[in-house]
Every structure is written in structure tokens, then in C-alpha cells.
Amino acid sequence: MSDQPRMHDTKNDMSLETRREMAALLDATLATTLDLYGHAKQAHWNVKGPNFLTLHELFDSVASNALAWSDDLAERNVTLGGTAHGVAALVAKRSKLPNYPVEAQNAAVHVEAVATALATLAALVRGAIESADRAGDKGTSDLFTGISRAVDKDLWFVESHRG
């Protein structure tokens, strides 16, 4: 896959250059968001401790949100004429998240790891808002703004379980 995404024909009136730039931005964010889904599910399946049920359900909620955000990112990309790349090999290669401590069982370790993943995505999305604004794509900027608010809220919920 090249740095210049192949674009499909569309009657969308944004310039090809803008659509290409936004498709690349959306696709890059998609990889990290799909990886967040995996991080949250890893925590959901493996968390142990006195707050098991609360954290088990919270991590599942984060995973569900990440899937919804992923779908929105992918669909916006394709709407602009791009191609969404969500296969595991590309996600692993392109995600900006740090590696997850997959052997962890302790609740505090999972809380910290999921909080770090959410904070990483939050920063990435805030940068994407700025990029979409500079490109003049208010629709993509609005999508990223909505995701930003939701990621920040999930981060708040997860960080509330810090010791």
C-alpha cells in the first residue's frame, strides 16, 4: 500500500487532493482504533480482582465504542472515495498504540494499559481534527470531534478506577 491511497470515483465535490489526504488520515486512525478494540477485549477477558465485574463490563463498553468509531472512520473514508484497510496484519503494522501487556491479569495493570491506549488515541484524534480543519473538510473534522469527546469520556471512566 503506497502513501498515496488509490481513490475510487465519486461525485463528491471536494478536490481529489483533499479527499486523498482525508482518506489517508481516516485509514491511519482506523488502524489505531481497531487496535484499541483488541486492547479493550484483552482486558475484558483477562481482568481479575475485587472489581472484576465492573471492569469486565467497562472494558467491554470501551471495545464496543471502538468498533463503532472504527465503522464510522471506515465508512467516511469510503464515502470520500478511499479504501478502508481493517485486516489484522495492517492494523498491527500501522497502529500507534503501545504493545499490550497480554499476560496481565491484575486489574490495575489492565486499567493502566487501557487508559494509555485511550489517551494515545485521544491525542491522535485531536491531531486529526486539526488536519481535517486545515484541509477544509468540516465533515471529517466533525466526525473526529465526536470521536474525541467519546474517547475522552471513556478515558475518564477507565481512569476513575486507578488506585
For 133-152, write each residue's pLDDT tens digit: 999 999 999 999 999 999 99
- The answer for residues whose C-beta is within 8 angstroms of residue 41's C-beta and 6 or more apart is 59, 60, 63
The closest alpha carbon to 84, from 23, 11, 34, belongs to 23
Judge contact between 111 and 158, C-beta under 8 A: yes
Which tens digit of pLDDT belongs to each residue from 42-98?
999 999 999 999 999 999 999 999 999 999 999 999 999 999 999 999 999 999 999
pLDDT of 163 reads: 76
Judge contact between 132 and 144, C-beta under 8 A: yes
Judge contact between 102 and 42, C-beta under 8 A: yes
Per-domain residue ranges for the chain?
Answer: 16-159
Q: Which three cell numbers stand for residue 31?
A: 488502524
Angle (deg, nearest 10), helices 16-46 and 107-135: 170
pLDDT band at 3 (very low <50, low <70, confident <90, very high): low
- Percent with pLDDT over 70 in the chain: 97
The closest alpha carbon to 158, from 105, 95, 107, belongs to 107
Q: What fold is seen in the domain 16-159?
A: Ferritin (1.20.1260)
pLDDT of 1 reads: 45
pLDDT of 5 reads: 67
pTM of the model: 0.94
Q: How far apart are CA 130 and CA 25, in angstroms?
A: 11
- Percent with pLDDT over 90 in the chain: 91
Helix (H, G, I), strand (E, B) or coil at 106: strand
Query: Across residues 5-28, what is the average pLDDT?
Result: 92
4 vs 118, higher pLDDT = 118
